[in-house]
Amino acid sequence: MQKLKAIIDWVDVRIGVKELIVANTSGYLVPRNINVWYSLGTVLLTLFALQFVTGILLLMHYIPDSEKAFASVEHIVNEVPFGWLFRSLHAVGSNIIIVALLLHMLSVLFMGSYKKPRELTWLSGFLLFNLGLILCLTGYLLPWSQLSFWATTVATDAAGAVPVIGSKLVELLRGSPSVGPQTLGRFFALHVVVLPLALLALIGVHLFCVRRIGISTAPFGPDARPATVGDSFHHEEHPNGIPFFPHYTIEEGAVVCFFLALLLAVTFFVPELFIPISALEPANPYVTPEHIKPEWYFLWAYQTLKIFPSKLLGLGAQGALMTFLALLPFLDRSPERRPAKRPLFVALYVIGLVLLIAISFWGHYS
């Protein structure tokens, strides 16, 4: 302990690390009425870290070659010590991450935390959500199963609906006229290098924004008032708040534990929940499965494409919705954040959510 203290003192003299630690832990005060929904950021950080660790372990045995990819995944699951665990944690973890991302976004929307001056925090978070979806999509192909092959065929095929450049875009995504070894190569590179680096960078931007501007107060309780935001930078202080550490960190620890328990529950007891039977058969370009359905988080968009008379219209509608969500803080400029004072927003929020769930179910059973 003496040696450790000596090392810390040595570093502290040079870069003032003790001051930094205090400023970001016990000296960092967060709103007193902070609630459980604020923990989802930490939950997501934990889950992303787990994806990195399990991903690296999988990478040690996975072979990104269309002739060997499926067999290498079978080898991981059946031969490599604890390979089944890493693979399941990685596959199930990606789904739990989407759940946490959705909950995080929905809670931020409901509490109006996206509003000025947190537009950049929202935008970086929204891009992170999309990046998470693209990571799932690219990871889907890597096992080179029937599901991987045909889901990617369908996914890349849809890009062909873009006018003028459609066919070029499809070929760019696939690297060849149809899904094949070249597609696997580029999806692999995207999934293990490009996208994780982009994710890390965006997480950095997001956390910087959160820390720089300060955590927003939950818009609940008798003292909740619309914030007055000026035109100059102002870090939102919470002089009557609670310390980030240990008070709020402990609360976050509890939520992280519950999420990890959920992840393990699915991994150990119902791993097949997120792994359809077609994911267990090797890719066969000669046999088209009868019904290819996207993952649950893409079902709403899948069904939307079926509702519209043309694929282009469907894609346009989805693009419009996503753009609207991305730009929401720039459109919704009222400083009011209390849900009770925003009946129109709350009504649209509930209708939108119900619609999203209903269309997803429709897509599942259609």
Q: Which residues, numbered 166-205, are part of the site for other proteins (CB under 8 A)?
A: 178
Instruction: Determine how β-strand 242-243 pairs with β-strand 29-30.
Output: antiparallel
Place of tokens 């929307």: 109
- The residue range among 61-69, 150-158, 196-204, 348-356 that interacts with other proteins, by the rule CB under 8 A, is 150-158
Token duo for residue 268: 């150990």
**What number of chain residues touch other proteins (CB under 8 A)?**
74
Near other proteins by CB under 8 A, which window of 61-69, 184-192, 260-268, 347-355? 260-268
Q: Which is nearer to other proteins, 20 or 320 (CB)?
A: 320
274: contact with other proteins by CB under 8 A:
no
| Rounded distance between C-alpha atoms, residue 31 and residue 251, angstroms | 13
Q: Is 77 in the site for other proteins (CB under 8 A)?
A: yes
Q: In terms of CB distance, is 208 or 268 closer to other proteins?
A: 268
34: left (phi over 0), alpha (psi -120 to 50) or beta: beta
Our finding on whether 158 is near other proteins (CB under 8 A) is yes
x/- site string to other proteins, residues 14 to 33, per CB under 8 A?
---------------x----
For residue 312 the two structure tokens come to: 């282009």
Site membership for other proteins, residue 100 (CB under 8 A): no
Find the farthest-apart pair of alpha carbons in the chain and give their distance in angstroms, rounded. 73
Q: Which two tokens stand for residue 183?
A: 């597609």
Q: What is the DSSP string of 179-214?
A: SSHHHHHHHHHIIIIIHHHHHHHHHHHHHHHHHHH-
Q: How many residues does the chain have?
A: 366
Q: Shortest gap between Cβ of 299 and other proteins (angstroms)?
A: 8
> Is 264 one of the binding residues for other proteins (CB under 8 A)?
yes
Which residue of 200, 319, 348, 357 would you call a contact of other proteins, by CB under 8 A?
A: 319
- Give kind and range of the element (H or E) at residue 287: none
Binding mask 281-310 for other proteins (x = CB under 8 A): ---xxxxxx-xx-xx--xx-xx-xxx----
Among residues 65, 251, 332, 336, which is the contact residue for other proteins, using CB under 8 A? Answer: 251
* Contact indicator for 126, 328 with CB cutoff of 8 Å: no
